[in-house]
Amino acid sequence: MVVDPRFGALAGQFFRLFEQTSDGGGALAVYLHGEPVVDIWSGWATRTTRWQSDTVSVSFSTGKGVASTVLHRLVDRGLIDYDAPVAQYWPEFASAGKDTVTVRELLSHRAGLHRVRGLVPGRLALLDHDGLASALACATPDRRRTVMPGYHAVTFGSLVAELTTQVTGMSFTDLVRTEIAEPLALREFWFQVPDQERRRIAKLFPRINPFGIPWGVTSFALSRTPGLKNLAAAGMPDGFDELVRNPAIHDHVMPGWNGVFNARALARMYAAIANRGMVDGIRFLSEDTVAQIGEVQTTARDYVLGLRMNWRLGYHHAFVASRDQSPSAFGHYGLGGSGAFADPDTGLSVAFVTNRMGNTLTPLADLRLAKLGATAESIARRL
């Protein structure tokens, strides 16, 4: 493990999260100015096995940040223009009035394609990337997209994956490997997990059902509730609670929610963003691209989440449990607790992965990363 003495208080805070088996396990990694200062892990990967250095975990929407970074690497090489219509690269996308939707709008959740509930038939249809991409290309966008963002909770990753595949002719799995894993010299960026690596995946618990209520009941109730029906449409397709526990998800590419990572890999990727595109002497992104990535695209309230997410190009504002939040910090958090972010102002990147989904009553809500991030930011600002 790695613990810079200056971050000792942060390490102690992390270890206290996993004092008994019911707490599950997790890992925390921090970079400062492109150098690793924390790389630690603790707790249980399963009820009977401890979390190890090589343990990885399903991290849900944390993968949206990884998928977005793949696209930014292509922008760096001039293969994609943020202000070009998506249909310029993916002609089928132009149908149903989407011919003017730009890459910039897609990345900031303003494509109007938040709906996944009922988008494709059958519970296993979400595993079919080609079918889902085809359905999204044919879908009619929500009219609110021109005035406010709407979080594409499940569809975002598939949209980015299909766009980048259309541009390069490469599978998204190969793009993640060549654009992220190989340049950063870390393997643990997976949507399709190699068979030989699956033994390393931590078991998620408890279930993701809010308040212990059956998923179908909750999803139906929210879909009929004003103010919450958009959330059900975007993130609660039928049978999703069963799907996330199905080992078959690791056979498919669903970058909006099935990414498998460790904290070390995520922190290294965000370290490059926090350090003007450089990490360990490697030029990962140009300074110009990094500057564009961090620009807030919309401050309007998100009509799915009901919050002002201050969407960047594929990332949201990094929420930390502090009154003194850094306005420059951004990244992507995931369902149940995992997430990562970069802060270019302090040169800090923080990543946290865990198999413990929030708490028993509200697995969707979790403040562990927000609290760890606040401590890390406080230390970095004092240095």
pLDDT digits (tens, 9 = 90+) for 302-315: 999 999 999 999 99
pLDDT of residue 211: 62
pLDDT of residue 336: 85
pLDDT of residue 366: 81
173 pLDDT exceeds 60?
A: yes
28 strand-pairing partners:
40, 352
For the residues of 141-153, what is the DSSP string, one character each? Answer: PPGGGGTS----T
Tell me 252's DSSP state: S
State how far the alpha carbon of 337 is from the alpha carbons of 30, 160, 354, 382, in Å: 16, 23, 7, 26
State how far the alpha carbon of 162 is from the alpha carbons of 62, 75, 159, 246, in Å: 18, 15, 5, 23
The residue assigned the tokens 């993916």 is 90
The residue among 300, 332, 326 whose CA lies nearest residue 313 is 332
The residue assigned the tokens 């011919």 is 99
d(CA 340, CA 349): 7
Question: Which segment of 88-97, 108-117, 219-228, 255-264 scores lowest on mean pLDDT?
Answer: 219-228
State pTM to two decimals. Answer: 0.96
pLDDT, tens digit (0-9, with 9 covering 90-100), for 94-137: 999 999 999 999 999 999 999 999 999 987 899 999 999 999 99
Three-class SS state of 203: coil
In this prediction, residue 362 has a pLDDT band, given cuts at 50, 70 and 90, of: low
Catalytic (active-site) positions: 61
What residue type is assigned to position 172 of the chain?
Answer: F
Cβ proximity of 246 and 146 under 8 Å: no
Residue 377 phi, psi (nearest 5) = -65, -40
